[in-house]
Structure 1
Amino acid sequence: MTELVEPATAQRWCDRCGEPADAGAHEACAAARALEPPRYCTRCRRRMKVQVVPTGWSAVCVEHGEIRG
């Protein structure tokens, strides 16, 4: 479940590699995201603090808050 809801147009950065979201297809990133949490904020490209627990994960951007999965 995601607490922070963003419109699809707000994603400017890939949440796994941190590169621009429109610069390529990011197939490897999409495949990896099926198994692991995001590493970068899609709105500001900051590296997020990620915590993985047996019941899920949480990722915190200092600017935009927390998301959970």
Structure 2
Amino acid sequence: MTDLPTAGDSGWSDPDTLGAIPPVVAVTYCASCGRSANKGNHVLCRERLRVEPPVHCTTCRRELAIVRSGSQWSATCKKHGETSGTLEDA
């Protein structure tokens, strides 16, 4: 017999937390600078993305292959595929 508490042990203070999996935090990256989108201030990055195509994949942070035609752009990530958009006039 062991002295360690188990999830079914009514004497344990919080049986619901035993063996619990910590929550998964989705990490996304800034399409302009490539840093974590959840940390820091990306106001300048958002302004830049209005007039320039993205440089980094927001899912994996890889550099994108960018094709630009006038105000239209398309960017391809090796892992996550293609995205496209329209730029504002600078």
TM range (shorter): 0.7 to 0.9
1:51–1:23 distance in 2 versus 1, CA, 3 Å: same
Rounded Cα–Cα distance in structure 1 between residues aligned with 2:71 and 2:47: 21
Rounded Cα–Cα distance in structure 1 between residues aligned with 2:70 and 2:58: 25
Corresponding position: 1:38 with 2:54: yes
Count of residue pairs the alignment pairs up: 61
> How far apart are 1:25 and its partner, in Å?
2.0
Root mean square deviation of aligned Cα: 1.7
Aligned-pair identity (%):
39
Q: TM-score, normalised by structure 1?
A: 0.80
Secondary structure in structure 2 of the residue aligned to 1:20: coil
Secondary structure in structure 2 of the residue aligned to 1:34: helix
Gaps of 5+ in 2: 1-24, 86-90
Gaps of 5+ in 1: 1-8
